[in-house]
Amino acid sequence: MNEIYEISILGKVVWNLHSLNNEGSVGNVTEPRTVILANGAKTDGISGEMLKHIHVEKMWELENDKNKLCEACKILEPARADKSKDVKSKDSAITAVQQALKDCKICDIHGFLVQKPTVARPSTIEFGWALGIPEIYRDVHIHARHAIGEKETNEGEDKSSQMVYHRPTRSGTYAIVSLFQPWRIGLNNVNLKYEINDEERKLRYQLALKAYQSMFLRTDGAMTTTRLPHTENFEGIIVISRTNYPAPVISPLNNNYKEEMNKIRDATKSIDVIEFSSLSDFVNKINGISQENLYKL
């Protein structure tokens, strides 16, 4: 049976000299994100929120007809369906979700929260943190902004137009985990009925896959104006379940994640494991699953 139930994308991406996600700024110093792993090691991270945001932006960009998005998503407002008068005028959770799913591809794929009537629709796409596989190289570069025509002086005379600031830059291999649940596309989570037809579900699925391709082909996060990442490679596995079996997720922090997944495939007979060795291979392998039909409850 060639249907898609769930897909997990697990891989290692190599980003050089990027500053995709930062903790925030203290004075004129911007701090990179630091996270702690199970073994106590501190490493560098890019949050799932940031990665999900990048995926949303790519979906928006790749959608030719922006009229297929709700008013909020048309201008990439995070409120999503909660801004729609048509949704908020509904008197039940069922009809509010129904309206939101019919109106907007991004609300459907990425989820939303409506305050009145109160209802949440979980995202069909999930991202974990991108985690630096030790050793990540970090550096904080000091930059000075100079006014045009200003002469640099050796002494620290008070120069109001000069601003010294510190920018973190990191290089390394990052573990990526993401889960996509195509069986839930168009599915009203209140009454468990599909609100859009199979053809539209497939179009939304294809748009989401394209956004996955695009976000690794060009990763737009923070500070890309001057820290556009030098993306070197992306390799890993695409795990597909074709029947109602939750697609497993194993972190590429585990060096044996591919072998483990292949053993799980053999033991469960419920998943396919597709390896990819480069960015172009990733694009090709994603293309290879884009024409398949989606599992339905």
What residues line the site for Zn ion (CB under 5 A)?
70, 73, 80, 104, 106-107
Measured CA distances, 219 to 20, 34, 154 (Å): 8, 20, 39
What's the chain look like in SS3? Answer: CCEECEEEEEEEEEEEEECCCEEEEECCEEEECEEECCCCCEEEEECHHHHHHHHHHHHHHHCCCHHHCCHHHHCCCCCHHHHCHHHHCCCCHHHHHHHHHHHCHHHHHHCEEECCCCEEECCCEEECCEEECCCCEEEEEEEEECCCCCCCCCCCCCCCCCEEEEEEEEEEEEEEEEEECHHHCCEECCCCEECCCHHHHHHHHHHHHHHHHHHHHCCCCCCHHHHCCEEEEEEEEEEEECCCCCCCCCCCCCCCHHHHHHHHHHHHCCEEEEEECCHHHHHHHHHHCCCCEECCC
**Residue 74 Cβ vs Zn ion, minimum distance, rounded to whole Å:** 8
Least Cα distance to 239 among 250, 253, 227 occurs for 250
Sign of CA dihedral 72, 21, 63, 246: negative
**Residue 212 Cβ vs Zn ion, minimum distance, rounded to whole Å:** 19
Nearer to Zn ion, 74 or 159 (CB): 74
Nearer to Zn ion, 104 or 261 (CB): 104
**Residue 63 Cβ vs Zn ion, minimum distance, rounded to whole Å:** 11
**Residue 57 Cβ vs Zn ion, minimum distance, rounded to whole Å:** 13
Q: What is d(CA 179, CA 290) in angstroms, rounded to the nearest whole number? A: 16
**Residue 91 Cβ vs Zn ion, minimum distance, rounded to whole Å:** 21
Nearer to Zn ion, 108 or 235 (CB): 108
Nearer to Zn ion, 118 or 154 (CB): 118
**Residue 37 Cβ vs Zn ion, minimum distance, rounded to whole Å:** 35
Nearer to Zn ion, 104 or 207 (CB): 104
55 near 214, Cβ under 8 Å? no
Nearer to Zn ion, 106 or 196 (CB): 106
Residue type, 32: P
**Residue 81 Cβ vs Zn ion, minimum distance, rounded to whole Å:** 6
Nearer to Zn ion, 33 or 110 (CB): 110
**Residue 85 Cβ vs Zn ion, minimum distance, rounded to whole Å:** 13
Nearer to Zn ion, 106 or 294 (CB): 106
